Structure 1
């Protein structure tokens, strides 16, 4: 019992107060470069501005999202390419908007025509109801024909203007824009009707 303790003491060398710890040589490399003053202060600022808990982090994220959405709304109103949403960015999408805005389409008048036909359908007279249904059918057929013609002419214009670029999704984008009334379109129209895009 006593013997094992003395063996353990003999095995581990004792550090005495007479042996001081060796200081690091000032010429020896420390393993990383010294940061510049601007980098160090930026790092201190980022550490100071990191949120303390999840609640504050979520609040900051909501605030950042709100600022981004405000910038996007302003860009949609002004047409500023830098802050537009991803679906509206690029020269192909800009050309699609100008192509649609430069011409009349039946689809943009769908909403007022639908309201008018709905009001007329409330008039309860036998022969009049059949005329209202015929008007619905005529409007829908005109929109389909107009959309097909617009899609074909737009595809042709895209091939001429952007032969080497990726134009995927541009035709549905243009057709969706034709369904909106000109005043309500976002980004706002930049070309007048009849102008060449």
Structure 2
């Protein structure tokens, strides 16, 4: 009989009891495939029905814009756009609406003068030059009046609301000029007072 030193060690390994698995590690089902596990963890970056969601978003935005437009027509300050509810913008509107602005009659005056010039050109050509002079004179008058309005209004805004209210990013000057060039009844937001002369305090 040949002595083998590894035979005893092999026999001990074969007769050793198998390790008992912890109950907490016991498998409750088949291990999922890697592909299935990755698919389960994925989340879509956009909704599945993106077209429908965009349509709903546009409808909500349109509804909001309609509501704000109606508020500006009726003078409902609480439902106007946020930019129209700023204190210094309310002050600008009230100031412009309180005065007679030469620029608000500029377009009607130009249209009337052009119609007159076309009508009388053939019969009275000598009238064209005076009409052109009147039209240009009114144009420069409107510019001068609007500039003077903003010159005074700017000082009032700085005194009441500070320098920030007339900074370039606030566009207060453009806001005042554009409102002064519109006919009073067509202005949006609607003037708070029916008559002129109600100056802001």
By the TM > 0.5 criterion, same fold?
Answer: yes
Deviates more, 1:172-181 or 1:77-86: 77-86
Contact 1:154/1:171 (<8 A) preserved: no
2:118 is aligned with 1:115? no
Task: Decide which structure has greater helix share.
Answer: 2
Q: With structure 1 as the length reference, what TM-score do the two structures score?
A: 0.70
Measured after TM superposition, the shift of residue 161 of structure 1 is 2.0
In 2, the alpha carbon distance for the partners of 1:130 and 1:166 equals: 44
Deviates more, 1:122-131 or 1:50-59: 50-59
State the match for 1:74 in structure 2.
70
Contact 2:93/2:176 (<8 A) preserved: yes
State the match for 1:60 in structure 2.
56
In 1, the alpha carbon distance for the partners of 2:78 and 2:184 equals: 23
RMSD of equivalent CA atoms = 2.4
Contact 1:104/1:193 (<8 A) preserved: yes
State the match for 2:147 in structure 1.
148
Measured after TM superposition, the shift of residue 21 of structure 1 is 4.5
CA distance 1:141–1:88, shift in 2 (3 Å): same
State the match for 2:198 in structure 1.
195
Measured after TM superposition, the shift of residue 167 of structure 1 is 2.9
2:99 is aligned with 1:96? no
Secondary structure of the corresponding residue to residue 22 of structure 1: helix
Structure 2 unmatched ranges of 5 or more: 1-18, 26-45
Q: With structure 2 as the length reference, what TM-score do the two structures score?
A: 0.69
CA distance 1:21–1:131, shift in 2 (3 Å): farther
Secondary structure of the corresponding residue to residue 193 of structure 1: coil
Measured after TM superposition, the shift of residue 89 of structure 1 is 2.8
In 1, the alpha carbon distance for the partners of 2:185 and 2:47 equals: 43
CA distance 1:56–1:170, shift in 2 (3 Å): same
Measured after TM superposition, the shift of residue 160 of structure 1 is 2.5
Contact 2:101/2:145 (<8 A) preserved: yes
Structure 1 unmatched ranges of 5 or more: 1-15, 24-49
2:176 is aligned with 1:182? no
